[in-house]
Chain A
């Protein structure tokens, strides 16, 4: 990989991590909420 591309990818890392955790947390909560609401 070109050094500029590598640097760009490294800068994007924290943003990817942030959205990954946010999606996992609130996606998981939304899924659990749907499961219990449809089971009520």
Chain B
């Protein structure tokens, strides 16, 4: 049991943080919603009803979509673009999908390789892009949820002011939708950019996200292996 916890500690640590933060967001969001309703002379529903409401869903989904977009773009961009000196990057000259031999697929796959890496054809092609496909699917789904939830919330606010509710297309073209979307995107792109750039010259001893401390600045972690 202790060995299992230790060997999976990184995922479990972030799972616990995720659940605590989501729970905290639910409670804080509920009290914010209750204050807003109180100002309009209405009484709030209970916490469970709030968690299953479009108001909470849209706040969760707008952050999810930007995180999955961040990783989708990071995975895709690091195939074709490099940053000399960054441990997040392949070394210059290795841009592209690389050869079957270097990716150890098809006839070049070792005996203990995943079965779809050995299979060849569409299965190897699909498996070879599966990480990008899953991140992209999660991005598209969460952005769709944000847009649908946002349409409902915008409709509720319009109704409070006696205005007609927007359609989904009207909401997707609205300033509110793009304000919510782009304020999340800009922070994700900033974070990824700083990670790539800072890691050229800065180190964290012992972290898998850093080059070893004594590695020269121009050398990436991939090159030093």
B27 within 8 A of partner (CB):
no
B 37-62 to A, binary, CB cutoff 8 A, 1 in contact else 0: 00000000000000011100110110
Chain A nearest CB, measured from B83 CB (Å): 28
**Cβ contact within 8 Å between A35 and B15:** no
In the assembled complex, the Cα of A9 lies from the Cα of B148 at a distance in Å of 42
User: Which of chain A's residues have a CB closer than 8 A to the CB of B152?
Assistant: 36, 39-40
Interface size on A, residues (CB 8 A): 23
Interface residues of A in 9-35 (CB under 8 A from B): 9-10, 13-14, 16-17, 20-22, 24-26, 28-29, 32-33, 35
User: Which of chain A's residues have a CB closer than 8 A to the CB of B4?
Assistant: 9-10, 13
User: Which of chain B's residues have a CB closer than 8 A to the CB of A35?
Assistant: 52-54, 57, 149
Determine which of A13, A14, A26 lies in contact with B138 in the assembled complex, contact meaning CB atoms within 8 Å: A26
Interface residues of B in 136-154 (CB under 8 A from A): 138, 141-142, 144-145, 148-149, 151-152
**Cβ contact within 8 Å between B54 and A17:** no
**Cβ contact within 8 Å between B145 and A29:** yes
**Cβ contact within 8 Å between B61 and A32:** yes
CB-CB under 8 A for A13 and B8, given A32-B149, A37-B148: yes
Chain B nearest CB, measured from A2 CB (Å): 13
What bracket does the count of chain B residues touching chain A fall in?
Answer: 20 to 34
B11 within 8 A of partner (CB):
yes
User: Which of chain A's residues have a CB closer than 8 A to the CB of B61?
Assistant: 32
**Cβ contact within 8 Å between A10 and B3:** yes
Chain A nearest CB, measured from B12 CB (Å): 7
**Cβ contact within 8 Å between B3 and A32:** no
User: Which of chain A's residues have a CB closer than 8 A to the CB of B3?
Assistant: 6, 9-10
B 1-12 to A, binary, CB cutoff 8 A, 1 in contact else 0: 101100110011
CB-CB under 8 A for A20 and B145, given A10-B3, A25-B138, A35-B52: no
Interface residues of B in 73-87 (CB under 8 A from A): none
**Cβ contact within 8 Å between B8 and A40:** no
**Cβ contact within 8 Å between B57 and A36:** yes
Chain A nearest CB, measured from B184 CB (Å): 16
User: Which of chain B's residues have a CB closer than 8 A to the CB of A37?
Assistant: 148
Interface residues of A (CB under 8 A from B): 1, 6, 9-10, 13-14, 16-17, 20-22, 24-26, 28-29, 32-33, 35-37, 39-40
